[in-house]
């Protein structure tokens, strides 16, 4: 039989159960888009920018069983998408990138878009492929997809030259997709040794990253057997339900909330699952990790990089954690001497009370906002945040109850993530409440993607914490320098953006209006209306994360540098 390459791309994506693609049609991928338009199962989404398309694809992978897929043009399309691809790569998120390519049967030599995009994307993808024959199309896409979802997930890049897309080619048969099998890699003896080490510990603890996000049942079983506190990374915030009495919050060192800092004091054995101990989750590497570290991860390359492990367990947490829970159940576990659940509850309440007492006139207290939001949304609602001060406020003050109920850019720190990620999340979860928490600086980077939200009738709430500056970096400057540089955004008139993009605008200026504003926003979203909720937020109180990382980084500076920094800050405080 003879088929065009574009038809074969469509066939492969349908076999892979891809529900949506994101991108912009152009000369080098129009044939693929023409085929996608004829698909009964794939919905191609037109975005305003390929970078936003990459964030949408990322969010779809994080919040559903469908792998987020880009269909982009070469060169500029690839460079625009690179930030979202890089975020997915560092955060371990599967993504399939299908890119048009220049003709491979041309006699004209050099062409405008013929750049080394494979070399450019190689460092931020798991693999790149270039199709040179029709017979390769389906098998290559199947192989790329399996690469994306196997081991530690990540993005893969497939170039389909335009002549392959357009021309007919001979195909002997159409392959049928088969998913790769998942097998445990860690040995039974290592699992038993890990269980014994945990059982013998006096004050064990759990630290869960995104790799543990689908393992709540096993994580709960282990935590309850050990009566051990559970902390998470930022990305793994939804790996353990905040409603559980052993949940402490993000991180466990000086940059963590008091419940985590206190509960993890004198921790003598740590089970870390699905985390590479990166900068944010460790509070700028300020955590104290015990000698008895049991590190479970699907990627063996993360072992012993930042903290040495006593036992390394390589494999998928969905396979290994239940085995570890079963092995631990056969052990005689030493009881903790303190009532860790009572300690966690007391510290959480004290921290909440501290925030509730911090009120500034004509500004919205973020703790009161999050308390009201949590009370009004469903337990299975999904919170999408961006990169900034609001990120850590959300992590500290917004309890998350469901797996994959919180997503955030993490290791690549991509500002501009949340607006498109809200759209991708809602497309993947049309019957679930989706609320974005977005800083004003991050919002401005991708605000025009609200056009896509309007076009797709996205019923979600885009909450913008608006204070007129880049508050996370300004606070980080203010503490050591007593001065802020290049952080002021000015008076950002968000209503104009809402009017231009066709979303409903609401303004929230004080604590007294939190309830009514949220009621209206959520009611409109339930009717399929996109809402821009402009919150005049109070950022005057610093998060524990900000305070902790500033102190941690100051402590590790060489003594002469530390003296110079402190002296400069004091002098500026005196002189202004």
Q: What is the pLDDT of residues 215-251, one digit of tens each?
A: 999 999 999 999 999 999 999 999 999 999 999 999 9
**Is residue 521 scored above 60 in pLDDT?**
yes
Residues 317 and 416 in one domain: no
Same domain membership, residue 252 and residue 192 = yes
Q: Are residues 327 and 362 located together in one domain of the fold?
A: no
Number of domains in the chain: 3
Residues 483 and 540 in one domain: yes
Residue 488 lies in a domain: yes
290: containing domain: 188-338
Nearest 5°: the CA angle 282, 372, 420 is: 60
- Residue in 246, 73, 83, 95 with CA at minimum distance from that of residue 165: 73
- pLDDT bucket at 57, cuts 50 / 70 / 90: very high
Question: Between β-strands 168-170 and 2-4, what pairing exists: parallel, antiparallel or unpaired?
Answer: antiparallel
Does residue 345 lie in a domain region?
no
Q: Which of 57, 102, 53 is nearest to 81 (CA)?
A: 53
- Beta strand ranges found along 73-171 (DSSP E): 95-101, 127-130, 155-161, 168-170
- Is there a single domain that holds both residue 60 and residue 156? yes
> Of all residues in the chain, what percent carry a pLDDT higher than 70?
90
Rounded to 5 degrees, φ, ψ at 152 are -75, 120
Residues 234 and 297 in one domain: yes
pTM of the model: 0.94
143, 215: one domain: no
285 shares a domain with 161: no
Q: What is the pLDDT of residue 491?
A: 81
Instruction: Please report which confidence band the pLDDT of residue 110 belongs to, taking 50, 70 and 90 as the band edges.
Output: very low
* Residue 264 to residue 340: CA distance in whole angstroms: 10
Whether residue 364 sits in one domain with residue 449: yes
Residues 464-478: b if buried by 16+ CB within 10 A, e if exposed: bbbbebbbbbbbbbb
Residue 387 in contact with residue 442, Cβ under 8 Å? Answer: yes
Q: Is there a domain that residue 510 lies in?
A: yes
pLDDT surpassing 90 at residue 551: no
Strand order across the beta sheet in which 247-250 lies: 247-250, 230-232, 204-208, 269-273, 293-297, 311-314
* Beta-carbon count within 10 A of 108 CB: 7
Average pLDDT over every residue of 331-338: 76
pLDDT at site 547: 84
Mean pLDDT of 296-313: 96
DSSP state of 122: G
Q: Would the pLDDT of 553 be above 70?
A: no
For the chain, how long is the longest CA-to-CA vector?
Answer: 82
Q: Is there a domain that residue 349 lies in?
A: no
- For 117-157, the pLDDT digits (tens) are 899 999 999 999 999 999 999 999 999 999 999 999 999 99
Residue 126 lies in a domain: yes
In a domain, 380, yes or no: yes
pLDDT score at 490: 73
The answer to the question of residue 503 being in a domain is yes
Residue 25 sits in a domain of what CATH number?
3.40.50.970
Is the confidence at residue 331, as pLDDT, over 50?
Answer: yes
Alpha helical stretches, state H, 357-431 = 366-376, 389-397, 418-428
Q: What is the CATH classification number for the domain harbouring 298? A: 3.40.50.1220
Do 400 and 491 have their domain in common?
Answer: yes
Q: What's the mean pLDDT when you consider all of the chain?
A: 92
What band does 304 get if pLDDT is binned at 50, 70 and 90? very high
Whether residues 437 and 383 share a domain: the answer is yes
Q: Partners of 364 in the beta sheet?
A: 537
Considering the domain architecture, whether residues 104 and 161 belong to the same structural domain is answered as yes
Confidence of residue 558 (pLDDT cuts 50, 70, 90): confident
> Which of helix, strand or coil describes residue 296?
strand
Q: Calculate mean pLDDT across residues 550-558.
A: 69
Q: Say whether pLDDT at 102 is over 90.
A: no
Partner residues linked to 204 by β-bridges: 269
């Amino acid at each position: 039989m003879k088929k065009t390459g574009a038809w074969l791309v469509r066939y492969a994506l349908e076999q892979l159960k891809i529900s949506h693609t994101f991108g912009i049609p152009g000369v080098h991928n129009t044939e693929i888009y023409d085929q996608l338009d004829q698909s009964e199962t794939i919905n191609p989404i037109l975005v305003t920018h390929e970078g936003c398309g990459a964030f949408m694809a990322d969010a779809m992978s994080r919040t559903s069983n469908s792998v987020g897929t880009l269909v982009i043009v070469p060169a500029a399309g690839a460079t625009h998408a690179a930030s979202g691809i890089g975020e997915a790569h560092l955060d371990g998120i599967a993504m399939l990138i299908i890119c048009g390519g220049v003709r491979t049967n041309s006699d004209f030599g050099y062409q405008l878009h013929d750049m080394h995009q494979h070399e450019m994307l190689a460092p931020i993808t798991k693999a790149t492929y270039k199709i040179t024959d029709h017979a390769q199309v389906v098998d290559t896409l199947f192989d790329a997809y399996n690469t994306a979802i196997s081991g530690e997930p990540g993005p893969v890049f497939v170039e389909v030259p335009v002549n392959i897309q357009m021309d007919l080619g001979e195909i002997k048969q159409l392959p049928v997709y088969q998913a790769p099998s998942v097998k445990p890699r860690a040995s039974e003896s290592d699992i038993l040794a890990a269980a014994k080490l945990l059982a013998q510990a006096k004050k064990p603890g759990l630290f869960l990253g995104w790799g543990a996000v689908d393992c709540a049942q096993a994580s709960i079983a282990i935590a309850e057997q050990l009566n051990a506190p559970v902390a998470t990374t930022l990305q793994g915030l939804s790996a353990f339900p905040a409603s559980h009495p052993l949940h402490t919050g993000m991180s466990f060192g000086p940059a963590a909330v008091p419940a985590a800092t206190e509960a993890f004091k004198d921790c003598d054995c740590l089970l870390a699952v699905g985390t590479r101990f990166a900068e944010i989750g460790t509070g700028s590497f300020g955590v104290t990790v015990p000698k008895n570290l049991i590190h479970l991860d699907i990627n063996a390359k993360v072992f012993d990089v930042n903290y040495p492990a006593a036992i390394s367990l390589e494999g998928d947490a969905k396979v290994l954690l239940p085995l570890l829970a079963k092995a631990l159940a056969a052990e005689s576990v030493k009881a903790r001497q303190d009532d860790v659940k009572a300690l966690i509850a007391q510290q959480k309440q004290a921290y909440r009370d501290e925030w509730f007492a911090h009120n500034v006139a004509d500004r919205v207290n973020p703790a009161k906002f999050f308390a009201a939001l949590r009370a009004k949304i469903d337990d299975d609602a999904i919170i999408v945040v961006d990169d900034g001060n609001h990120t850590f406020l959300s992590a500290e003050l917004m309890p998350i109850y469901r797996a994959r109920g919180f997503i955030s850019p993490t290791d690549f720190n991509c500002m501009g993530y949340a607006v498109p990620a809200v759209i991708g999340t809602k497309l993947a979860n049309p019957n679930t409440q989706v609320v974005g928490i977005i800083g004003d600086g991050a919002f401005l980077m991708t605000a025009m993607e609200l056009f896509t939200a309007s076009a797709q009738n996205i019923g979600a709430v885009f909450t913008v914490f608006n204070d007129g500056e880049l508050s996370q970096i300004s606070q980080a400057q203010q503490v050591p320098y007593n001065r802020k540089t290049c952080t002021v955004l000015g008076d950002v008139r968000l209503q104009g953006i809402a009017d231009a993009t066709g979303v409903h605008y609401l303004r929230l200026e004080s604590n007294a209006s939190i309830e009514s504003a949220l009621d209206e926003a959520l009611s409109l979203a339930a009717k399929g209306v996109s809402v821009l909720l402009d919150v005049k937020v109070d950022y005057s109180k610093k998060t524990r994360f900000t305070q902790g990382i500033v102190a941690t980084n100051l402590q590790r500076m060489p003594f002469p540098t530390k003296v110079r920094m402190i002296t400069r800050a004091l002098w500026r405080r005196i002189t202004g």
